[in-house]
Amino acid sequence: MNPEQDAIPHGDPIALFDSWFAEARAAEPNDANAMALATATADGRPSVRMVLLKGHGPDGFVFYTNARSRKGGEIAANPHAALLFHWKSLRRQVRIEGPLTEVTPAEADAYFHSRPRVSQLGSAASDQSRPLDARQTYLDRVDALAARYEGEEIPRPPHWTGFRLAPEAIEFWLDRPNRLHERRRFTRERERWSSTLLYP
């Protein structure tokens, strides 16, 4: 077999993510910022769900949620998580692992009020992850809040917030013919990144 040049080079994994993410936003038909978020309870029982990336940079990867939800409770009990991006159109994956910290109230306010008004109402009306007797109950709560705050700014509920995952490890996966895939894992110690190729 002919040798191949590595398509996932050693370097700055944040810059590489930026490049791959830009390509995904141009290629993916829906929600290139969708990512699987895996959390776990204090005793290690995992759960996973899809959320949306709402900010990223060298300091971390940001998403927003209801802190009283199941994932919020797990984050409070065990503030470490893993993210997975799967860009099927590009045949690429990125896995990211690290600790979570809550964003500032100012950051949460700014993002909450940047959302469409109906999304703000939906978040404020939702007891996320709690039992619901009927969907109409939720819709009625949305309508009631819409009437209450007609013509006014909707206040961000204090339990609706964001979290930033500070990456300690980032792994890039690239599809190759005949399942001879390419993987490179970056790990960070303090401010320095090292990397190694992995067998697929």
Helix axes of 117-125 and 135-148: crossing angle, nearest 10 degrees: 120
Q: Which residues pair with 193 in a beta bridge?
A: 188
Instruction: Specify if 79 maps to a domain.
Output: yes
44 in Cβ contact with 35 (< 8 Å): no
Beta strand pairing status for 80-87 and 92-102? antiparallel
CB 160, CB 64: distance < 8 Å = yes
Residue 181: inside a domain: yes
In a domain, 87, yes or no: yes
Q: Are 8 and 174 in contact (CB under 8 A)?
A: yes
Which pLDDT does position 190 carry in this prediction? 84
- Write the DSSP string, 86-107: EETTTTEEEEEEEEEEEPPHHH
Which stretches in the chain have pLDDT values below 50?
1-3
**43: CATH:** 2.30.110.10
Cite the DSSP H helix spans in the chain: 13-27, 70-77, 105-114, 117-125, 135-148
Q: What residues form DSSP beta bridges with 95?
A: 84, 171
Residue 176 lies in a domain: yes
142 domain-assigned: no
By the 8 A CB rule, do 156 and 113 touch?
A: yes
| Token pair belonging to 46 | 């995992």
Backbone angles phi, psi at 42, to 5 degrees: -60, -30
Residue 66 belongs to a domain = yes
Catalytic residue among 135, 179, 190, 192: 179
What are the distances in angstroms from CA 144 to CA 5, 32, 44? 60, 33, 39
179 is catalytic: yes
Q: What's the pLDDT at 7?
A: 82
Q: How many domains does the chain have?
A: 1
Is residue 33 in some structural domain?
Answer: yes
- Gap between the Cα atoms of 185 and 179, Å rounded: 18
- The full length of the chain comes to 200
CB 85 within 8 A of CB 93: yes
Domain hosting 51: range is 13-113+160-198
Inside any domain, residue 31: yes
Nearest to 182 by CA among 170, 161, 198: 198
